[in-house]
Amino acid sequence: MLEVRDLHVSYGGVQAVGGVSLTVREGDITALLGANGAGKSSTLKAIVGAVKPQSGKVFFEGRDITGTQPDKLVTMGIAMIPEGARVFARQSVAQNLRLGAYTVRDEAIIKQRIDSVYAMFPRLLERREQLAGTMSGGERQMLAIGRALMSGPRLLLIDEPSLGLSPLLVEQVFDALQALNKQQGLSVLLVEQNMNQALEVAAGAYVMQTGRIALQGTAEQLAASDEVRRVYLGM
């Protein structure tokens, strides 16, 4: 579904991504793992055209989408949730969800999607009139996921959803991703530092180290591998 070929990203001559290739298969959750500064976010940003790759190609369903702007990608069926789950702080939960549907014209579809977001995250329904800026970190992450779902994506790219969340909330967010994957067939590229929890929900994963893919395999293979821990600790 998504294919990244030999992606390179540099910031002012300093290379952050040095030849990353990866594939997200339709119907899978694929994790992109790695320690701080390994280049995961830069890879994701280059995939969605938020930073310009030096070289390399990105294909979505066989189509070259390299450098395509994020808003255009939304209309193609790709949604991205950046690190920190940015939401519109001065808008209510309900307004944030509506804003996520800016590409959707049909009011009936918007209503149906809002209902299914509330069914998945009852907490958002309880708090639908609350200003997003006053929500907790976990609630904001749920809102960010809900808002991304409003565009009806087939592929979701999500950057470190566990960041700053308590273990219980991390589990809730990951459960939600898994449910979306299983029930709605949503494909996911999950960028995470939290390897153990990511491997519990992912089918397969890539592990980055200093801008390159150091390891790849199924979630089971990687969960059982000592090599992964060595890469993480930078040994």
For the bound state, the minimum distance from the C-beta of residue 173 to ligand ATP, rounded and expressed in Å, comes to 17
For the bound state, the minimum distance from the C-beta of residue 23 to ligand ATP, rounded and expressed in Å, comes to 19
∠ at Cα 171 (141, 157), nearest 5°? 50
Separation CA 152–CA 108 (nearest Å)? 13
Side chain identity, residue 65: I
Chain positions contacting ligand ATP, by CB under 6 A: 11, 16, 34, 36-42, 193
Is the CB of 13 or the CB of 62 nearer to ligand ATP?
Answer: 13
Residue 170 near residue 11 (C-beta atoms within 8 A)? no
Relative to beta strand 78-81, strand 155-159 is: parallel
Separation CA 163–CA 25 (nearest Å)? 25
Is the CB of 40 or the CB of 140 nearer to ligand ATP?
Answer: 40
Is the CB of 42 or the CB of 151 nearer to ligand ATP?
Answer: 42
Note the Cα 193 to chain centre separation in Å.
12
Is the CB of 96 or the CB of 194 nearer to ligand ATP?
Answer: 194
For the bound state, the minimum distance from the C-beta of residue 47 to ligand ATP, rounded and expressed in Å, comes to 12
Relative to beta strand 55-60, strand 204-209 is: unpaired
Q: Look at the chain and count its residues.
A: 235
Is the CB of 94 or the CB of 163 nearer to ligand ATP?
Answer: 163
Residue 26 near residue 45 (C-beta atoms within 8 A)? no
For the bound state, the minimum distance from the C-beta of residue 11 to ligand ATP, rounded and expressed in Å, comes to 3
Torsion-angle region of 190 (φ positive above 0: left; ψ -120 to 50: alpha; else: beta): beta
Note the Cα 167 to chain centre separation in Å.
18
Is the CB of 1 or the CB of 38 nearer to ligand ATP?
Answer: 38
For the bound state, the minimum distance from the C-beta of residue 13 to ligand ATP, rounded and expressed in Å, comes to 10
For the bound state, the minimum distance from the C-beta of residue 30 to ligand ATP, rounded and expressed in Å, comes to 16
